[in-house]
Structure 1
Amino acid sequence: MAGRLRSEASAYLRQHAGNPVDWWPFGDQAFEQARLRDVPVFVSVGYAACHWCHVMAGESFEDQATAEYLNEHFIPVKVDREERPDVDSIYMSATQLMTGQGGWPMSVFALPDGRAFYAGTYFPPRPQPGQPSFRQVLQAVHEAWEQRREAVETTAASVAQALAQAGEANRGLLGDLSVEPDGGQPLPPGGPAAEWGPVQVPSGEAGGTDHRAVLEEAVEVLSGQEDTVFGGFGGAPKFPPSAVLHFLLRHAGASRSDSAQRAAGLSARTLLAMAGSALYDQLEGGFARYTVDRRWSVPHFEKMLYDNVQLLRVYAQWAVQSPAGAERDLGCSVAAGTAGWLVERLQLSHGGIASSLDADTVVDGVHHEGATYLWSPAELRRVLGADDGDWVVSVMCVGERGNVTANRSTLHPGRPLDPDERLRWEGLRPALLAVRQQRAQPARDEKVVAGWNGLAVAGLAEAGELLGRPDLTAAAAAAADYLLSVHLDDSGRLARVSHDGAAQHFEGLLEDYAGCAEGLFSLYAATGEGRWYRAAEGLVLRAEAVFLRDGTLRDQAVPAAQVSAAAGAVPPADPLESATPSGTSLFAGVLATYAAYSGSVRHRELAGRLLGYLNRIAARAPRAAGWGLAAAQALAAGPVELAVTGQSAAATALIAAARASGSPGIVVARHTADPRREETAPLLADKPVPADGALAYVCRGMVCRRPVATAAALLEELGAAGN
């Protein structure tokens, strides 16, 4: 029965191991059972932190009668969307095609070959106006399967054909990425070879494209989409625009143009709004997934690793780009709070970082959304006393009538606190946090996802450097060590997911390889340790071998047969972004970084070619291309290459000055006087280590300007280089 799920890496799957539903994990065995029994497959997709997934589980999957009907007439398959984004993506596309909307839990009915023919999201246990019950859906699907099989198969064929057309359209955004015939072969033994698989880039295209006009147009479109009342973009529900903020900060640091000033204002207003909102946990740090309202006051309480690592990076960079004062102080505070929460609550003892905290808190066996985080006025007065309690009630928007439950609310000021308010709040916060930590806590999903951990390594490494926090750099190194020792095998193959120190069999997607390379390059920049550079280089080159074939980029090395059938046999390659950067945009970014370190013109040209889709999408939907725009902004600047040699303290001071300049996507290599450090990146070649102090070389395309020894001179050189 559902005991099949007990040993799965996914906490979400293990949550369902005790259901009376006879769940199978996604795979060939489940679909073969459907073929042998001649029944459809019911694919239920969700994730551990999902509130409505818990609701449907309690109402339907734990109901004995419903489970018996489901077991008799279907093969039930449970999928963690975070573990298998390939499965989630194609069935979400099918769901949106058939219903016009999507979400989780997702409920899909498929043929034994994997093609979808009916889909929806949450179904209630009893009929509601305009919505059938889950039992009614099951009965209707079973009846159609038994009595109208030809129509079912026709629908499945039509859906697969439509998804194939959509897949071809996505591939059309990327265009042709032709490589030589042997470009798809495995890397030669003994390490990367410069001549391996050269990319044929037509002259005047790709790497030679000037993206500046596209970048400025994206800023203009984003300006028109801003919520000028409450900050951020769009209405309810309101999500943190993490990748877009990454781009806006890079654009703001690129020049002093009107467009750069507009980007600086856009990013600052959004960052200020989020910092004072209920999206940000004012007691412990860390961000919720989104708010259900436009005012940022009622969060959907799950806390996801992928949101927090991106926002950690953004707030740290905003802090150093801001002049001394309130904005810099706030940026440092939010970055430090988010990093502290991430290390304290998500980093596991082996160094890997868990995926999420649940939206729900289980109290007396019952799921309550956000229960850990809510306060009533009476509770605040009881903990803090009447005077301080009343002050918090007033400043943190806690009314006698709650904004989440009848009498309980989130804590959030809804605006930046003034210095006196912040001082008083920081004095009261520890007492409230101590009380909150005694409450029941949300569950943690302890599966480790490679790509998200790679982004976490990048965020922690950069925050450690920018905030002067070596403990954060050490946390980044621990996570990187875990990835290399557990997720990466001797052949260079990267596993997407691990649990309890053991990697699972499913190979990482393009986003995993590129995300890990992004983190390792950032850690190399922060530490100068050559092992991180070598590991990042290996991931970039293997990703090129595995995912770039026959002139096209693929998100997945070898799609599962059922995913391929559902997609109409078109290999998935979607450059557009949602909550996380797409594999395409991440890969373009690390290719640009690798080219800056190595001097590889071929890889720089490939990065530019991959970003060609921005010309077709950035002006229409810039919020679906934030990371790609950020990568293009770095390419437009060079990227600027900074090689620093010399004494550690002096080198660190020069690098800090360069980081604060806001130079977009600046690539840093350092070689200190420590004899144990080795010159790894070619960018450092032939750059001597001075006996005293440090020297900084500003380069573009491996062509370097004269070395300088002071921060002031370095800033002049960065300005001369176009930044």
Structure 2
Amino acid sequence: MMTNRLIHEKSPYLLQHATNPVDWYPWGEEAFSIARATNKPIFLSIGYSTCHWCHVLAHESFEDEETARMLNERFVSIKVDREERPDIDQIYMTAAQLMNGQGGWPLSVFLSPDQTPFYIGTYFPKTPQFNRPSFRQVILQLSEHYRTDPEKIKRVGNEIIQALTDVTSANTTGQLNETLIHDTFDQAMRQFDVQNGGFGEAPKFPSPSLLTFLLDYYRFAEDETALQMVIRTLTAMRDGGITDQIGFGLCRYTVDERWDIPHFEKMLYDNALFATLCIETYQVSGRERFKQYAEEVFTYIERDLLSPDGAFYSAEDADSEGREGTFYTFTYDELLDVLGEDALFPRFYQATPQGNFDGRNVFRRTDQSVQQFADDNGRTVQKTLFQLEQERQTLLHVRSQRVRPFRDDKILTAWNALMISAYAKAGRVFDDHHYTDVALRALTFLETHLMDDDRLRVRYREGHIQGNGFLDDYSFLTEAYLELHQTTQQTVYIQQALRLTDRMIQDFGDEQGSFFFTSVENETLLVRPKDIYDGVKPAGNSTAVLNLIRLSQLTGRTDYRERAQHVFSALALEVESQPTGFASLLSAYVRTWLEPKELIVLTDSLETIEPFLADLHKRRLPELSLLVGKKETLLKVAPFIADYRLIDSQPTAYLCQDFQCERPTTNLSELLHQIIE
């Protein structure tokens, strides 16, 4: 079998294209040198290994000999894995949105040899359809334009560069205020889908940043509507087809507004953020089902995405056996054959003979009440739940015999950090050391393979390390260290967070206030990108700001708080224009209005106050920072406690606001009541 240059790469996505007849190059100087020497334009194809439409484009065009010949004759073709090179993806996705008003993957970019784009699209079909030209038509027309009208190509490219520069280097400052917090909530209410939960119309994506903001707004304004919006959305997602009802885990999005029919790929980051939200909603509401939702995610992760070395793989594909969703769905006849005619699972999860997905069934329990279902079937709830679980396990076993979707087994620092944070939080809130141990094992892997002193790398796969860390790597891993400190009260995690934060400020800081996505040590690209919008993941800037605020509380370092304020000021005008697009940043800002408090508990033994800590951790108290331990240990990270003393050799608590402390106390139960009232 013939191969191209991608056969020497480690990215699973690039390796999927290593046997294409297209003469692919990986991103690098070799490709650009060839383009300059031959005066050929560049075709840049950006995607990821579990992307359904990337597979469709590859099968229709990149695997086609004639299309490949046309492409090879006219272009220098480059493949990029967006998950390994989010910097490249971010630049050209921003350009796509500026040019077309939207973007997506696969991202098809046509460049001059100097990396300047002159045309950008997404998926192009093999033959003209969907009001789109065919891929062959596009490459023929663009190659002709490039050859015959170089001035237009140059003019369009210059306009795009100017637009990108304006976006990434806007020199504006403003001031956030309390009114904007309320305006953001009002906008979220207008966008909220009252009937189905979530925000907007189809396709329906999870909105973790906005839901977290609503939890913070509930804490701030005590508006019950905010909490109910979160509860409605998480319940609808868990009950809908976006959740794998047999094997658990969250899919990337649904093609409808009801959360019924998913795009079946499963991403590590989606599941980390969904689990985190469920844990925090459990803290706020006390409802056990949200704890269950998070634990189901962890069941999926540990079964299917946990590596033997303890790190987390990246994703699972939507496709198997050449079709989307085949692995996850069942025909009605298959259900009868496996479970029998008296089975409850097909009825409860709304399977039908005609199916709801190409004659097959995507399971969901939307609007189903277990109590009502049990009553209708003349059973107790307990017996109904038992039978449903037995039948679920039967279907899981049957499904496990099928051809599995492709699993992307690369290990990404940023996405692993998000899952480490989720596990650390679960260990603390659920008082379950297993989850803490999983988090610590994954962290050990990152520290061993993807961390060199205070510098991070992006990806590990089969012993191969790639990429200088991006802002997400530093901010998300710093957050993971802070979560592990909160769970274990080991000050080494604060020390690591401080080291990464200082490196981040030095290498990513912009004198205008916010942070660049790439470090000063990264490759020079068309522009130096910034990640400021909160989407399916929080932006690196938003997470960095929250880390700075938390570290300032924990250590007393006012320079961190001032740095966070600079980011707020630098992005204020952008936030005012589209508040819900900055939901994570506004969550951080809300916390500055929550009267931040510091709780320091001096004790010679953590074991003696474990009941107090367990009760404290059951509550979501985003305004509270917590330091527990021996004074000599805590002094290494919190010099402001120099004058604090134990009272009568008993565990002694200092509750402070802006480092002005109340009278110390040894009555921890009374203090707990004061904190949570």
Q: TM-score, normalised by structure 2?
A: 0.92
Alpha-carbon separation, structure 2, partners of 1:269 and 1:307? 18
Alpha-carbon separation, structure 1, partners of 2:463 and 2:130? 47
Equivalent residue number for residue 606 of structure 1 = 563
Equivalent residue number for residue 194 of structure 2 = 228
1:31 aligns with 2:38: no
Partner residue of 1:714 out of 656, 662, 671 = 671
Equivalent residue number for residue 464 of structure 1 = 427
In the TM superposition, what whole-angstrom CA distance separates every residue of 1:5-64 from its partner, at most 9, and x where no partner exists? 234232111111111111111122211111011101100000111000011111111111
Q: 1:530 touches 1:679 (CA, 8 Å); kept in 2?
A: no
Q: Secondary structure at the match of 2:245?
A: coil
Partner residue of 2:308 out of 336, 349, 368 = 349
Equivalent residue number for residue 364 of structure 2 = 412
Equivalent residue number for residue 548 of structure 1 = 509
Change (3 A) 1:352 1:6: farther
Alpha-carbon separation, structure 1, partners of 2:419 and 2:323? 29
Alpha-carbon separation, structure 2, partners of 1:67 and 1:485? 42
Equivalent residue number for residue 584 of structure 1 = 541
Partner residue of 2:341 out of 386, 390, 413 = 386
In the TM superposition, what whole-angstrom CA distance separates every residue of 1:458-512 from its partner, at most 9, and x where no partner exists? 111001111122111111111111222211113x2211222124321x2111121
Alpha-carbon separation, structure 2, partners of 1:530 and 1:335? 27
1:399 aligns with 2:361: no
Q: Secondary structure at the match of 1:77?
A: strand
Q: 1:529 touches 1:678 (CA, 8 Å); kept in 2?
A: no
1:251 aligns with 2:217: yes
1:236-315 maps to which residues of 2 (within 5 A)? 236-254=202-220, 257=222, 260-315=223-278
Shift of 1:636: 2.1
1:503 aligns with 2:503: no
Alpha-carbon separation, structure 2, partners of 1:413 and 1:626? 30
Shift of 1:397: 1.5
Equivalent residue number for residue 180 of structure 1 = none
Farther off after superposition, 109-118 or 82-91: 82-91
Alpha-carbon separation, structure 1, partners of 2:579 and 2:669? 36
AA matched with 1:396? Y
In the TM superposition, what whole-angstrom CA distance separates every residue of 1:522-580 from its partner, at most 9, and x where no partner exists? 1111112233222111100100101114334322114876732xx4xxx3224212211
Equivalent residue number for residue 377 of structure 2 = none
Equivalent residue number for residue 626 of structure 1 = 583
Q: Secondary structure at the match of 1:79?
A: strand
Alpha-carbon separation, structure 2, partners of 1:470 and 1:628? 31
Alpha-carbon separation, structure 2, partners of 1:502 and 1:603? 35
Q: 1:672 touches 1:689 (CA, 8 Å); kept in 2?
A: no
Shift of 1:416: 5.8
Farther off after superposition, 430-439 or 41-50: 430-439
Equivalent residue number for residue 128 of structure 1 = 129
1:96-495 maps to which residues of 2 (within 5 A)? 96-128=97-129, 130-169=131-170, 172=172, 175=173, 211-254=177-220, 257=222, 260-323=223-286, 328-361=287-320, 363=321, 367-388=322-343, 391-406=344-359, 408-415=360-367, 417-418=369-370, 420=381, 422-490=385-453, 492-495=454-457
Percent of matched pairs sharing the same residue: 34
Q: Secondary structure at the match of 1:373?
A: coil
Alpha-carbon separation, structure 2, partners of 1:708 and 1:445? 52
Equivalent residue number for residue 669 of structure 1 = 627
1:9-24 maps to which residues of 2 (within 5 A)? 9-24=10-25
Q: Secondary structure at the match of 2:205?
A: coil
Q: 1:460 touches 1:476 (CA, 8 Å); kept in 2?
A: yes
1:675-686 maps to which residues of 2 (within 5 A)? 680-682=636-638
Change (3 A) 1:701 1:501: farther
Change (3 A) 1:416 1:462: farther
Alpha-carbon separation, structure 2, partners of 1:9 and 1:635? 44
Q: 1:250 touches 1:662 (CA, 8 Å); kept in 2?
A: no
In the TM superposition, what whole-angstrom CA distance separates every residue of 1:577-631 from its partner, at most 9, and x where no partner exists? 2211111101101111111111011111211331236643556534311211221
Farther off after superposition, 81-90 or 623-632: 623-632
Q: Secondary structure at the match of 2:323?
A: strand
Change (3 A) 1:692 1:654: farther
Farther off after superposition, 581-590 or 153-162: 153-162
AA matched with 1:583? G
Q: 2:507 touches 2:520 (CA, 8 Å); kept in 1?
A: no
More relative contact order, 1 or 2 (CA 8 Å, 6+ apart) = 1
Q: 1:644 touches 1:651 (CA, 8 Å); kept in 2?
A: no
Alpha-carbon separation, structure 1, partners of 2:26 and 2:423? 34
Equivalent residue number for residue 84 of structure 2 = 83
Change (3 A) 1:286 1:118: same
Alpha-carbon separation, structure 2, partners of 1:637 and 1:381? 55
Q: Secondary structure at the match of 1:284?
A: coil
Equivalent residue number for residue 188 of structure 1 = none
Shift of 1:691: 9.0
Alpha-carbon separation, structure 2, partners of 1:141 and 1:544? 42
Q: 2:22 touches 2:68 (CA, 8 Å); kept in 1?
A: yes
Change (3 A) 1:141 1:614: closer
AA matched with 1:400? P
Q: 1:556 touches 1:572 (CA, 8 Å); kept in 2?
A: yes
Alpha-carbon separation, structure 1, partners of 2:198 and 2:163? 34
AA matched with 1:459? A
Equivalent residue number for residue 201 of structure 1 = none
Q: 1:654 touches 1:714 (CA, 8 Å); kept in 2?
A: no
Q: Secondary structure at the match of 1:625?
A: helix
Alpha-carbon separation, structure 1, partners of 2:7 and 2:671? 57
Equivalent residue number for residue 500 of structure 2 = 539
Q: 1:103 touches 1:121 (CA, 8 Å); kept in 2?
A: yes
Alpha-carbon separation, structure 2, partners of 1:405 and 1:288? 18
Shift of 1:214: 2.4
Q: 2:413 touches 2:477 (CA, 8 Å); kept in 1?
A: yes
Q: Secondary structure at the match of 1:644?
A: strand
Q: 2:653 touches 2:665 (CA, 8 Å); kept in 1?
A: yes
Q: 1:671 touches 1:678 (CA, 8 Å); kept in 2?
A: yes
Shift of 1:713: 1.9
Alpha-carbon separation, structure 2, partners of 1:130 and 1:148? 26
Q: Secondary structure at the match of 1:498?
A: strand
Shift of 1:648: 3.4
Shift of 1:423: 4.7
In the TM superposition, what whole-angstrom CA distance separates every residue of 1:180-221 from its partner, at most 9, and x where no partner exists? xxxxxxxxxxxxxxxxxxxxxxxxx6xxx6x44322221122
Q: Secondary structure at the match of 1:372?
A: coil
Q: 1:277 touches 1:415 (CA, 8 Å); kept in 2?
A: no
Change (3 A) 1:592 1:9: farther
Change (3 A) 1:216 1:111: same
Shift of 1:418: 3.1
Alpha-carbon separation, structure 2, partners of 1:24 and 1:705? 64
Q: 1:298 touches 1:410 (CA, 8 Å); kept in 2?
A: yes
Q: 1:351 touches 1:479 (CA, 8 Å); kept in 2?
A: yes
Equivalent residue number for residue 611 of structure 2 = 653
Q: 2:90 touches 2:529 (CA, 8 Å); kept in 1?
A: no
Shift of 1:684: 6.4
Alpha-carbon separation, structure 2, partners of 1:644 and 1:106? 52
Change (3 A) 1:111 1:545: same
Alpha-carbon separation, structure 2, partners of 1:10 and 1:409? 33
Change (3 A) 1:415 1:330: farther
- Give the number of equivalent residue pairs: 662
